[in-house]
Chain A
Amino acid sequence: MELSTKFSSQVPDEENQRSSETIQYIVIRLGEEQYGIDIRNIETITRMQHVTRVPKMPAYLKGVINLRGVVIPVLSMRLRMNLEADEITKATRILVLNLEQEGNVGFIVDEVKEVVSLNVDDIEKIGENNKEGKANLINAVGKHNGELISLVDLNAISLEG
C-alpha cells in the first residue's frame, strides 16, 4: 500500500518536471522564415478553403470561414506581419488558434512543418527594446537543431494591428 502510493506519486512529479522544461511548438513557414506557435493554443489545422470576405475590414482580415458550424474570422499571418500577400498553394493551411480574448481565430500560413519540443534553456526572450515592426509579434527565439525559430507572442497577435 505504502509502496504503491509512493510509486504513483513519483511518476507525475517526473512528468511535471519534464514538461516544465520543454514546451512544444508547431513550426510554420511564412516565406523563408520559420515561426513557432505554442501548441497549447492551437485548436485545429485545416486545409485552405473558401474564405468569405467581409467588407470594410482591414486587409489582413481575410474574412470568415465555417469551422464545424461556427463562424470564425480568418487573418493573413503574412499581412499581419507586414509581409507580402499570401500566395495560396497546396501547402497553405489555416491554423486555428484559441485566443483568450477572441475565441477561435484562423491564421493563413504558407506551410505547417512540424512539431518541435524546445527546451526552456534554448528559448531566449527578446527584450522590449528590440521589438519593432513585425518583430512586435515575436517575443522569443528558440534554437532547434541549429536553426532559429521565432516564437510568436499570442497575446500580441490577436486583434489590433
Chain B
Amino acid sequence: MDVSQYLEIFLDETKEHLQNLNTRILELESDPENADTINEIFRAAHSLKGMAGTMGYKRMQNLTHDMENVFSEVRNGTIKVMPEMIDVLFQCLDALEEYTDNIQSSADEGTNDNEALIRQLNDILNQDAAPRGQDKAPEKQEPAAAGSAAPGGNKWDSIRLDSSQIAVIKEAQNQGKKVYGINVLVQESCILKAARAFLVFKAVEEVGEIIVSDPSAQDVEDEKFDRDFTLIVLSDAELDAVIKAAESVSEIEKATGAPLVLENNKNAETEETPEPEEPEEPEKPEQPAVQSAPKVEKPAAPAPAAQTAKTDGRKPAASKPVVNRTVRVDIEKLDALMNLVSELIIAKNSLVSTSSQEQSGGSNSSFNEQIEYLESVTTNLHESVMKVRMVPIESVVNKFPRMIRDLSKKLGKKMELYMSGEETELDRTVVDEIGDPLMHLLRNSADHGLESAEVRAQRGKPAVGSIFLDAYQDGNNVVIEVRDDGNGIDVEAVREKAIERGTITPEQAANMTDKDIIDLLFLPSFSTAKKVTDVSGRGVGLDVVKSKIESLSGEVEVKSKLGEGSTWTIRLPLTLAIIQALMVVVGDEKYAISLGSIQTLEDIPPSEIKLVQNKEVIHLRGNVIPLIRLNQVLDVESKRSEDENLIVVIVKKGDKTAGLVIDELIGQQEIVIKSLGKYVKQCKFISGATILGDGEIALILDANALI
C-alpha cells in the first residue's frame, strides 16, 4: 500500500509529538513525580511509535518502542526519574528529530540505528528490572522475541485472567468444549494491522468464541499492539481449524496455538501478580522481558555499530523536501473566508446590475456605493487570508527551553529562559525562517552574554542567569526581543579586536561611536569569544542573523550596557505579501516605497541644501539628513527644474535616516508584492514589483538598501 499520501500528516503530527515530548520531559525534569506529565509523555511516545510503524519507519519505531518502555516503567513507578535518564531521553528525541528530518527531505528515515541509544535505554530498564524479575526473565525471553522472530513459548499462558474468565473456561471444559490459546503474528510489512487483526477476530469467531484477547479487543482495534496478539478461544472445532481460520486472513504471517491448560497460566490462580500492572496496559508483562533479553534480536544494520545520536546521518542540505509545507487552519478562519468570498460575489453581481441600470440611465451614486462595498469586502478578505497564513511563533520558540537546558549543562553556567508572547502570530513563511536567527541570539546570550558563576557572584548578581525571549505585536510589526542580564557587550574589546583584525584602522576606530562599533559584530566572520567553543565563536553567528532577518524585510538592533546585559531586538513585518506603500513618480516612472520605512514628507527649498564632504544634506529639526536624488540612482531625467522646491521623502532604517528626492507624489496605496523573478534579481534597491490598477507595473524601492 502506498502511504506517501499520509506523509505530510505524519510529519506534521510527528513534529507535534516531538515538541510535546520535549516540553514534557523538561517538565518532568523539574517535577519528576508529576503523574499527569508522565502520562502525557507516555501517550505521545505511544502515538509516535504507532505512527512510525504504520508508515513503515522501522528504526524510528524501534527507538520509540524502547523509549516507551522506559516511560511505561516510570509510569508504573518501578523506575525513578534520574538526570542521566533525562539526558538519554533528550538524545533519543534528537535522534527522532533526525529521522524526521531525513524523512522530510527524502521520504526515507536514513540508516542510523542509534544502537548506542537503544542500549542506554535498555540499561536504564535493566538497572531496575534485573533484580526484580530474574525468575521470570528466562521464561519470558522467548515470547518476547516473538515481536521480531518466530513465536516460541505459550504467550497465552501469561495472559492475566480474572476469576469470571477462569470460571467460563472451566465451565466450557466441563461441558466438553475445547479451549485453545492462539497467538497470531502479523506480517512485518503489514500496514493496516488493526484491520487484519479485526479480520482474524471475525474469522476465529466463526469457528469459536473468543473469551480473552491480549491486548484487549479495543486496543487491537486501535492498533495498540506490536506485531502479535494472543487469543483464548472456546470452540467445538479442532485446533487446526481455528488456526487455519486465523491464517486465512491475508498478511498474517503465522498463527500458533495449543489447547489451553489452565494450570499453566501463571496469572490465573492468584490475585497478586508478581509485578504491578495497570489494566489498560495489557502488553506490559512482556516488556521487561524484552529489555532483559540480550540485544541480539535487534536488526543488524549495515551502518557502523558505534553510532551515537548526533554523529552522522545528515543528508546534504540542498536536497528539496519531499513534502510541501502546510499550514493548519482553524476552521473558523476558513468560514470567515468563505463568507467574504460569497459577499464578493454579491458585490460583483450588484455591480453588474448597476452597470446595466447605468446604461438605461441609472444614477451614479449607487455605483459609487457598490465600489465602496467592494472595497470593504476586499479589505476584509485580505485580512482573513492573512490570518490564515498566520501561525503563532510558539511552534518555533517552544524548542528553546530545551536548548537552553542543554546549553546550561554544556557551558556549566546556570541559566533560566523566560518566554512571553509565544501566541504572537506571524506569517508562516516568516515563522519558518525565524527559528535559526533566534537560536543564534539565544546561544549568543548564553555563551557570550552570561558571565561565569564566579563573576556573577562578584558582581552581586543572582547565581542563575536569566535570558528573556519576549514577542509582541507593535503596529504592523512584530517585535521579538532577546534579553539577558549578563555582561553586555564590551565595546572596547570589540574595538580592539576590530583593529587587530584589520576590519577598521585605529583612526577609524577613534571616530566611531559605540553603536558603530557594536554594529561591527554583524559583519561576517567577527567573533569576540576568546575561545572557539561548540556553542559559538566560529564567527558565523551574527552576520547570518542579520542577513536572514533582512531577507525577511526585518531589522535587528542591539542595545547593551557593559556589566548589565544586552537586548537584541528583531522587528519583522506582519506579512510579506501585501503592504501599504507610498506611490511616487521619478522622471516619468512610478515607484512604490513601503510606508513602513517612511517617516515624514518634506518640502525643501533648494537653498536649504548644504554640502558636507561633497554630499548633499539638509538640516531638519536639528538633524542632518543626507539627500539621495532618486533620479540619479534610477538613471532617469528629473522633470523638475533646479530652482523648484524639492519633495523629499524622509526614510528611516534603524537609527539612520535619509531623504529621498522625488519628482511627484501620487499617494498612499495598498499594494500586492510580486516577485521580479531571478532574471531581474541583481538590482539591489528594487525589492519587487506591483501591478497597478491599470495593469501597469510599478517597481518597489527598498529604502533600506538605499540608505
Binding site for B on A (CB under 8 A): 50, 52-57, 61, 64-66, 69-73, 101-103, 105, 159
Contacts and interface: CB of A to CB of B under 8 A. Distances in A.
A61 B699 contact: no
Contacts of A72: 677
23 contacts: A52-B589, A52-B697, A54-B683, A55-B634, A55-B683, A56-B635, A56-B683, A57-B680, A57-B683, A61-B680, A64-B680, A64-B699, A65-B697, A66-B695, A66-B697, A69-B691, A71-B675, A71-B691, A71-B697, A73-B677, A101-B678, A102-B679, A103-B677
Given A66-B691, A71-B691, A55 B682 contact: no
Nearest to A52: B697
Given A52-B696, A52-B698, A52-B699, A102 B683 contact: no
Contacts of B678: 101-103
B683 A159 contact: no
Nearest to B697: A52
A55 B684 CA distance: 10
A53 B676 CA distance: 12
A120 B232 CA distance: 76
B631 to A, nearest CB: 10
B653 to A, nearest CB: 20
Contacts of A159: 679
A73 B691 contact: no
Contacts of B634: 55
Contacts of B635: 55-56
Nearest to A70: B674
A64 B682 contact: no
Contacts of B680: 54, 57, 61, 64, 73
A160 to B, nearest CB: 11
Given A52-B689, A55-B683, A159-B679, A71 B696 contact: no
A66 B699 contact: no
Question: 7 shortest A-B CB distances, which residue pairs?
Answer: A52-B697, A73-B679, A55-B634, A71-B674, A71-B689, A66-B691, A56-B683
B612 to A, nearest CB: 26
A55 B691 contact: no
Contacts of B682: 56-57
Interface of B: 589, 633-636, 674-680, 682-683, 686, 689, 691, 695-699
Contacts of B679: 61, 73, 102, 105, 159
Nearest to B701: A55
A55 B676 CA distance: 13
A72 to B, nearest CB: 7
A101 B677 CA distance: 11
Given A52-B699, A64-B680, 18 more contacts: A55-B633, A55-B634, A56-B635, A56-B682, A56-B683, A64-B697, A66-B697, A69-B674, A69-B691, A70-B674, A71-B697, A72-B677, A73-B677, A73-B680, A103-B677, A103-B678, A105-B679, A159-B679
Contacts of A65: 697
B677 A71 contact: yes
B585 to A, nearest CB: 13
Nearest to A75: B679
A42 B679 CA distance: 18
A102 B699 contact: no
A71 B698 contact: no
Contacts of B695: 66
A73 B682 CA distance: 13
Contacts of A70: 674
A55 B696 contact: no
Nearest to A105: B679
A72 B689 CA distance: 10
A56 B675 CA distance: 17
Contacts of A52: 589, 689, 696-699
B691 A64 contact: no
B85 to A, nearest CB: 53
Contacts of A50: 696
A54 B674 contact: no
Nearest to A158: B679
A82 B472 CA distance: 55
B513 to A, nearest CB: 32
A61 B636 CA distance: 16
Contacts of A61: 679-680
A108 to B, nearest CB: 15
B691 A54 contact: no
B663 to A, nearest CB: 15
A158 to B, nearest CB: 9
B67 to A, nearest CB: 46
Nearest to A102: B679
B633 A64 contact: no
Given A66-B691, A66-B697, A69-B691, A53 B589 contact: yes
B589 A64 contact: no
Contacts of B675: 71
A64 B683 contact: no
A70 B695 CA distance: 11
A93 to B, nearest CB: 18
B382 to A, nearest CB: 16
Given A54-B683, A54-B699, A64-B689, A102 B633 contact: no
A66 B677 CA distance: 12
B678 to A, nearest CB: 6
Nearest to B698: A52
Contacts of B674: 69-71
Contacts of A55: 633-636, 683, 686
A102 B674 CA distance: 16
A54 B676 contact: yes
A66 B689 CA distance: 10
